[in-house]
Amino acid sequence: MSNFIPLSIPNFKGKELEYVTKAVETEWVSTGGAYIDQFEEQISEYLHVGQAVACQSGTAGLHLALKLSGVEYGDEVIVPTLTFIAAVNPVRYLGAEPIFMDCDDTLNMDLDKLEEFCNNECLLTEKGLVNKKTSKIIKTMLIVHVFGNIVNMERVMNIAQKYKLKVIEDATEALGSYYTEGKYQGKYAGTIGDFGVYSFNGNKIITTGGGGMLVGKNKELVYKGKYLSTQAKDDTLYYMHHEVGYNYRMTNLQAALGVAQLEQLEGFIQIKTRNYQLYKREIEAIEGLDLLDFNKNARPNYWFYSLTIDKERYGLDRDALLKKLNKKGIQTRPIWGLNHEQKPYVNNQSYKIEKAKYYLDRVLNIPCSTNLKEKDVLKVVNILKELKYSL
């Protein structure tokens, strides 16, 4: 790398150019072509699921998942406040409203507060879970595996069963993370709830430039997702449509990239793991800094690394450190602005948001690309040390 160390960029050292060139040579470059089918089949095989649908984005996949889970105008969906807003916006696409939950110390949804909310703030009726405050039915909860750190899905599914809720797993950051213990040992993030969604945006662990993937337990519903993603064509010759569909299909060029990237996924995870462990060991020696742990009962993909800052002990707060690192060519970013405080959602219901605010003020994401070399990691660490001891 140059003197500039980016936060998270693609790694194209496999057969990306070869496969994209083949797609161009065959002139199948749009939403039809062999690479789309191949990418879907290979993702299905990797995740051990029966069906996968390639989409234009993770957001498109979430929109389809919400629709397929029965969310309609006037319903409500439980979502985390600490996540990228793309996980929340599709709720509004369907005329439904999000209810915002706090995070715990893993940055994932606080399941204690989730259960407390369902028990104390809602009524379980024959029609479903009814929010006492709004009298609306809560159809679904959308669980995000933040930064690839896997959620306790055994507990999530128990809560869902108790309160008659569908579960959508936003695994857009967690491709390759799987459980190593418990009821779901060997199961991948995104394959346990009713639907799972992945993203292949440019900063993800594998990328198609843009793009996403929808999976689910019910093959018929997942297949319907494919139908809806291709403008709901009931007759492809005469262009007859019985439902409102969407232009959500992945292109063959994107899928060609995806096939090449998927071939390298496990190698990418090894690099991410090695760099995380090096960061963790070196940063622990710097008073006032630490890297957040990943859950111990899983093999995470280590997508993003979360540096926590104790201003009193380190000497700089989040924003001061952010500016100094970026000035020195170390690209970092804060956690996303909390969704319950975003302008479109300030009037929506939120429940006891506390830790999300705490971590928002104390966490920075530091460089984590799969191109990152040991010397790059040590450069970041040395600058963190210099900034502390130069105060």
Helix axes 34-47 and 16-26, enclosed angle (nearest 10): 140
203 backbone dihedrals φ, ψ, rounded to 5° = -100, 0
pLDDT > 60? residue 390: yes
**pLDDT-based confidence at residue 223 (cuts at 50, 70, 90):** very high
The identity of residue 184, as a single letter, is Y
> Mind listing the pLDDT tens digit for each residue in 158-215?
999 999 999 999 999 999 999 999 999 999 999 999 999 999 999 999 999 999 999 9
pLDDT score, position 1: 43
Structural domains in the chain?
16-262 (3.40.640.10), 265-389 (3.90.1150.10)
Burial degree of 214 (CB within 10 A; 0-12, 13-18, 19+): buried
Give 146-184 as a DSSP string.
Answer: GGGPPP-HHHHHHHHHHTT-EEEEE-TT-TT-EESSSTT
If you average pLDDT over every residue of the chain, what do you get?
A: 97
pLDDT score, position 278: 98
Give the C-alpha separation, 229 to 214, whole Å. Answer: 10
Q: Tell me, yes or no, if the pTM score tops 0.85.
A: yes
How far, in Å, are 168, 179, 273, 369 from residue 301 at the CA level?
Answer: 20, 11, 7, 12
Helix axes 318-327 and 374-389, enclosed angle (nearest 10): 120
Residue 331 near residue 4, CB atoms below 8 Å: yes
pLDDT score, position 330: 97
Burial degree of 122 (CB within 10 A; 0-12, 13-18, 19+): buried
Residue 256, number of CB atoms within 10 A of its CB: 30
Give the C-alpha separation, 370 to 254, whole Å. Answer: 20
pLDDT > 60? residue 234: yes
pLDDT > 60? residue 75: yes
Helical ranges in the chain per DSSP H = 16-26, 34-47, 58-68, 89-93, 111-120, 153-162, 219-229, 252-262, 265-283, 311-314, 318-327, 355-360, 374-389
For 165, residues 6+ apart whose C-beta sits below 8 A from its C-beta are 78, 118, 129, 138, 139, 140, 141, 159
| 320-332: average pLDDT | 97
> Mind listing the pLDDT tens digit for each residue in 112-138?
999 999 999 999 999 999 999 999 999
Residue 272 near residue 368, CB atoms below 8 Å: yes
pLDDT > 70? residue 391: no
pLDDT score, position 389: 79
How far, in Å, are 79, 130, 152, 153 from residue 191 at the CA level?
Answer: 18, 27, 13, 10
> Mind listing the pLDDT tens digit for each residue in 12-27?
999 999 999 999 999 9
Give the C-alpha separation, 53 to 250, whole Å. Answer: 9
Sign of torsion over alpha carbons 368, 372, 377, 383: negative
Residue 310, number of CB atoms within 10 A of its CB: 13
For 351, residues 6+ apart whose C-beta sits below 8 A from its C-beta are 99, 100, 101, 102, 113, 117, 121
pLDDT score, position 121: 98
| 323-337: average pLDDT | 97
